[in-house]
């Protein structure tokens, strides 16, 4: 019934094919944006804002669950067998695994009752996602956002509108243009061909695999021959994101300040793409071996990142001591100024550190802050005049 309903919408309902194509491709674009957002947070150290980071990962998990339930609903050949494989994972739970599986299925196997339950979950989850989304924004509003330089920006804030809104609008319009192009010309480019065939309970597909945004986790699952070990490793591939803030040992705020860490990060991104490709292939050589090696590097990246940070901090500290010949804090030698060069009178002006007339005057700085997009407003002065 579900498969025939989807087929009716596509063939008989006016613009039904466009609505389904929009629904499918928006989900794919959303995951692409989520992965880019997470990678950006890793690169620039945004996970140091712990509550913002954790709420974002919870949001990511909810979106993944919503996408999986939506993938099953068309009840095509690949949808049914993907539901069969994924839902049977709960049987690996000791003692109560079988009972939990029967509760999820609504019977002794995946069937129509399972489909109804998944539809209910798929309908309710967006409301939970919306609530977590506003919680995520609230945490972001309280703590503020990071920046590529990883410096404290409380002293030089800019208004969200129109500085950020205009910039973000350009990206949104570009994404919408690409989305409309895909819906008009390639609406089902990212849909598995077997999902256009009604599910057959007696015919198992030669290769069962999820959508592209789950392929990296599926490759990790297959890399371990043991069922329980593979499931735990697959779950760990997401859960490890919760502990990243505890693994950060660097003195500076983001990977952008560490040369070797940048290389390591981009190797990890390439490894993620390799896992995605391996997950779409069969369990044959050389894909099986590539999946094992890529899985090992995926998890080794996180502790290895701390080791490389420690090494780079040590190198920077050593270079600063040798080049300056003085034993003061290495961060000041790289990014700051010597305290003995300051005048007796405390000075928070732009000429701090004996730079003289190389920087703008106090009056020029205050006039600049009155302009858009800074717009500090009124006659308030945030810099101390001499």
| Given the residues 143, 145, 207, 318, the one annotated as active site | 145
> The tokens of 269 are what?
């991104």
- Both tokens assigned to 170: 């350009």
Helix axes 77-87, 97-105, angle to 10 degrees: 150
Residue 145 is a catalytic residue = yes
Angle of helix 16-44 relative to helix 160-185, nearest 10 degrees?
A: 130
211 catalytic residue (yes or no)? yes
Catalytic annotation on 167? yes
What separation in angstroms does the CA of 281 have from each of 73, 79, 97, 218, 262? 24, 17, 29, 11, 29
List b or e across 106-125, with b for residues whose CB sees 16 or more CB atoms inside 10 angstroms. Answer: beeebeeebbeebeeebeeb
Exposure of 289 in the CB half-sphere (CA atoms within 13 A): 2
The phi and psi torsions of 279 (rounded to 5 degrees) equal -65, -25
Catalytic residue, candidates 161, 167, 206, 358: 167
Nearest to 31 by CA among 265, 168, 216: 216
Helix (H, G, I), strand (E, B) or coil at 198: strand
What's the angle, vertex CA 325, arms to CA 322 and CA 329, rounded to 5?
A: 90
The count of other CB atoms within 10 Å of the CB of residue 380 is: 9
* Nearest residue to 93 via CA among 242, 196, 232: 232
DSSP string, 14-52: TTHHHHHHHHHHHHHHHHHHHHHHHHHHHHHTGGGSHHH
Please confirm, yes or no, whether 12 is among the known catalytic residues. Answer: no
Selecting among 79, 136, 192, 211, the annotated active-site residue is 211
274 in Cβ contact with 294 (< 8 Å): yes
Choosing from 168, 332, 339, 341, which is the catalytic residue?
Answer: 168
Q: Is 154 helix (H, G, I), strand (E, B) or coil?
A: coil
23, 37, 116, 141: the active-site residue: 141
Q: Active-site residues: which are they?
A: 141, 145, 167-168, 211
């Amino acid at each position: 019934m579900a498969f025939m309903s989807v087929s009716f919408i596509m063939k008989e309902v006016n613009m039904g094919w466009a609505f389904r194509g929009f629904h499918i491709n928006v989900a794919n674009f959303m995951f692409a944006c989520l992965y880019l957002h997470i990678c950006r947070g890793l690169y620039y150290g945004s996970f140091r804002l712990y509550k913002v980071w954790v709420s974002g990962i919870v949001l990511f998990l909810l979106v993944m669950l919503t996408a999986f339930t939506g993938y099953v609903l068309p009840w095509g050949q690949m949808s049914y067998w993907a539901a069969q494989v994924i839902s049977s994972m709960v049987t690996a739970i000791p003692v109560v695994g079988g009972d939990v599986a029967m509760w999820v299925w609504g019977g002794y196997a995946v069937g129509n009752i399972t489909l109804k339950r998944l539809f209910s979950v798929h309908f309710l989850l967006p409301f939970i996602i919306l609530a977590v989304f506003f919680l995520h924004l609230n945490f972001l509003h309280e703590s503020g956002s990071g920046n590529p330089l990883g410096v404290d920006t409380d002293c030089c804030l800019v208004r969200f509108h129109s500085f950020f809104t205009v910039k973000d609008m350009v990206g949104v319009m570009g994404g919408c243009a690409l989305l409309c192009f895909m819906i008009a010309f390639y609406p089902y480019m990212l849909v598995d061909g077997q999902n256009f065939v009604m599910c057959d309970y007696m015919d198992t597909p030669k290769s069962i695999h999820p959508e592209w945004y789950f392929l990296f986790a599926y490759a990790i699952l297959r890399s371990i021959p043991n069922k329980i070990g593979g499931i735990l490793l697959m779950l760990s591939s997401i859960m490890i994101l919760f502990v990243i803030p505890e693994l950060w040992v660097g003195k500076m705020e983001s990977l952008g300040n560490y040369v070797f860490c940048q290389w390591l990060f981009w190797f990890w991104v390439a490894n993620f793409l390799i896992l995605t490709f391996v997950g779409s292939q069969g369990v044959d050589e050389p894909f099986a071996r590539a999946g094992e090696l890529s899985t090992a590097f995926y998890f080794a990246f996180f502790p290895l990142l701390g080791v490389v940070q420690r090494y780079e901090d040590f190198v920077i500290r050593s270079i600063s001591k040798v080049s300056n010949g003085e034993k003061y804090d290495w961060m000041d030698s790289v990014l700051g100024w010597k305290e003995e060069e300051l005048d007796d009178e405390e000075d928070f002006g732009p000429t701090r550190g004996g730079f003289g007339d190389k920087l703008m005057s106090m009056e020029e700085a205050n006039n600049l802050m009155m302009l858009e997009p800074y717009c500090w407003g009124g006659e308030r002065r945030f810099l101390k005049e001499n």
